[in-house]
Amino acid sequence: MKKITDTVIIGGGLSGLYAAHLLELHGHDHVVLEARDRFGGRIVSTPLNDDTRSMVDLGPSWYWPNINPQLSALVETLGIAFYKQFSDGRYLVDKMRDAPPQAVDIGYDIMPDTYRIQGGMKALINGLLEKLPPEKRLLKTQVNAVSKQADGTYLVEYERHGGNGDIGTLSAKHIVFAMPLRLVAKNIRFQPALDPTLKKAFDSTETWMAAHAKAVLIYETPFWREMGFSGSASSSVGPLVEIHDASPEINGEPTYGAIMGFMGINGSARKTAGDETLKKLVLQQAVRLFGQAAAHPIRVEYVDWYQEPLTATQEDIATLHGVYGINTKDHTHPNILFAGTEASRGYGGYLEGALDAASHAVSIIKSYD
């Protein structure tokens, strides 16, 4: 690894890669360090087969072009196709375990201006990676500490997982933490220490999606559409409490069927129950809602973000959507910047927030030119 660079970006999710892309456009030297063995962070998309244009999302799924200007611009820049969230047909309401679900004709679009991306949200990650030199993006690289040097630069201490498992340091003028603020506060050692007030604020900032678990049932076709159902449902019975059609589309046609839903069970209870038990309960619920045609999915995908140590902490057990927009300035560390959606002042908790925070961090770095 190159031992000296202008900017170290810690975190290779959407925010970190977008920050790297912006720095690359302006000729700023940088490197992205990602602790996972993949890029994308909370963006995870999986295909049914080898066609990467047909992916289902196990992380964020939607965007809203009318209110997500930076994300809309990035989709256009990367040349990615998109399609509207399917919502035609009856909506299912499941209130009591001892009564059948009720089919309701809503009479209006329950998800207006809501869109999905062809190839899943991972298409954003792949598009950004194509624009970054491979030597400037490193996987399995866990940052443990940053230390301010006498000349105002920073020494970044990291550990490489796999291979030789080497431990090393990297010098940089600027640091961008493109990761959840709560994880920064808990996992990174600072010398000198972060401002105590700021650290407390970081500790109290809920991590977007960290409390969630998401299941996707994949079928040959979206059979519920032929039955007059939209695929959307709300349930007080569970285990999924909010359900939608997640069938990938190409040129306006579904390539296969997918139903996705959010778990209504908290992280601790999910961990006790176990993934396989929860998958069985999800399948039983699908049959309850959509009939025997739902009994035999090709497979059931499931991700519990609460059990992802590079996303969640124990404090994230019940958070649904946090309150964001805190001041992230530390006068002791003016060259350390914080990105990631939790650091966004206007779009916290959305993909737009990841881009917004990255743009803000890069604008500050550019101001030093």
Q: What percent of the chain has pLDDT over 70?
A: 97
The count of C-alpha atoms lying within 13 angstroms of the C-alpha of 266, restricted to the half-sphere facing its C-beta, is 8
pLDDT of residue 111: 93
* pLDDT at 317 exceeding the cut of 90: no
**Chain segment 62-116, per-residue pLDDT in tens:** 999 999 999 999 999 999 999 999 999 999 999 998 899 999 998 889 999 999 9
Give the Cα separation of 260 and 255 in Å (integer).
16
* pLDDT at 141 exceeding the cut of 60: yes
pLDDT of residue 319: 57
Q: Is 151 helix (H, G, I), strand (E, B) or coil?
A: coil
**Sole residue written with tokens 């929860």:** 278
Mean pLDDT of 318-336: 82
**Backbone torsion region of residue 15, taken as left when φ is above 0, otherwise alpha when ψ lies between -120 and 50, otherwise beta:** alpha
Are 338 and 184 contacting, i.e. CB atoms less than 8 angstroms apart? yes
**Sole residue written with tokens 């003028």:** 173
* pLDDT at 268 exceeding the cut of 80: yes
pLDDT of residue 152: 93
pLDDT of residue 213: 96
| More confident site: 144 or 48 | 144
pLDDT of residue 4: 84
**Chain segment 345-357, per-residue pLDDT in tens:** 899 999 999 999 9
Mean residue pLDDT across the chain: 94
Are 86 and 55 contacting, i.e. CB atoms less than 8 angstroms apart? no
* pLDDT at 327 exceeding the cut of 90: no
* pLDDT at 147 exceeding the cut of 80: yes
What single string gives the DSSP state of each residue in 295-353? S--SEEEEEEGGG-TTT--GGGSS-SS---------TT-TTEEE-SGGG-SSSTTSHHH
Mean pLDDT of 219-239: 97
Return phi, psi of residue 236, to 5°.
-95, -5
The count of C-alpha atoms lying within 13 angstroms of the C-alpha of 28, restricted to the half-sphere facing its C-beta, is 26
Q: Which residue from 331, 251, 260, 268 is spatially nearest to 301, judged by alpha carbons?
A: 260
Q: Which two tokens stand for residue 130?
A: 């194509």
